[in-house]
Amino acid sequence: MDELERHIAQHPAVRHPFLQRFSRERLALHRIQSYGLQHYQLVKVFLTYMTNLVARIPDSSAATILRGVFEDEFGQYTVFRSHVHLYQNFLRALGLQDEDWGRIQWREETRNFVSGHLKLTQDGDVLMALGAIGPGHEYSIPLMFDYLLKGLRHNTALSDRELEYFAMHIEEDKDHAVAFRRLIAEVAQTAMARDRVRQGALFSLELRRRFWDGCHAAVFGRSL
């Protein structure tokens, strides 16, 4: 896992030109809105990936190990603390209305990201799915979100509360990555099994790289 995490930290998805430009360039509000609406389509379906995955892992300890991840995603004691709700707070702070979330035209890269992860977690190789959602998501997200949060603070006057979704993920997902690492150690005990986990993580990151390509085109007006 150490080697995989080092590889993820250097992956083109994690150091994508979109993230670098977003973190340092001046952006008009409508461009940030364009990014925000595409990203929301990923945010709202993440729990479906998790539910699909845990139901398919034969190790009975999976639900226990990942309990904290589910609690954080759901908001533990109130839906108003769920990650989807926090992201909706962010969109409203950008001046978007609830109806904007449903009528946005998905970019092809966004659609492919969601459909690829749904298919993998529903009926794909379960160890690849574990790699995609574990290290592929939870380890990589704090690294990518650091760029996003810098850009949002640079370009908006949003409060810490309105940016909580991003700041929270930079901290929480580090703990989530540790939980997934523990689960992987239990269920992927052979070199072949660990390689399938690695393949899943890289599959997810390639879809993420293409998603950022789409965000680059939406925000900066041209494809890479």
CATH number at residue 40: 1.20.910.10
| Four-CA torsion 54, 59, 65, 67, nearest 10 degrees | 40
Instruction: Note whether 70 and 86 are within 8 A (CB).
Output: no
Q: For 185-224, what is each residue's pLDDT tens digit?
A: 888 889 999 999 999 999 999 999 999 999 999 999 876 6
Look up residue 53 and give its amino acid.
L
For residues 98, 102, 103, 105, the Cα torsion angle rounded to the nearest 10 degrees is 130
Q: What is the 3-state secondary structure (H, E, C) of 48-117?
A: HHHHHHHHHCCCCCHHHHCHHHHHHHHCCCCHHHCHHHHHHHHHHHCCCCHHHHHHCCCCHHHHHHHHHH
Looking at the 3D structure of the chain, how many domains does it have?
1
- Residue pLDDT, tens place only, 71-92: 666 555 444 568 888 999 999 9
Q: Give me the count of residues in the chain.
A: 224
- Residue 57 sits in which domain range? 2-220
What is the per-residue pLDDT across 140-173, written as a single tens digit (0 to 9) for each?
999 999 999 999 999 999 999 999 999 988 887 7
Instruction: Report the alpha-carbon distance of residue 157 to residue 145 in Å, rounded.
Output: 18
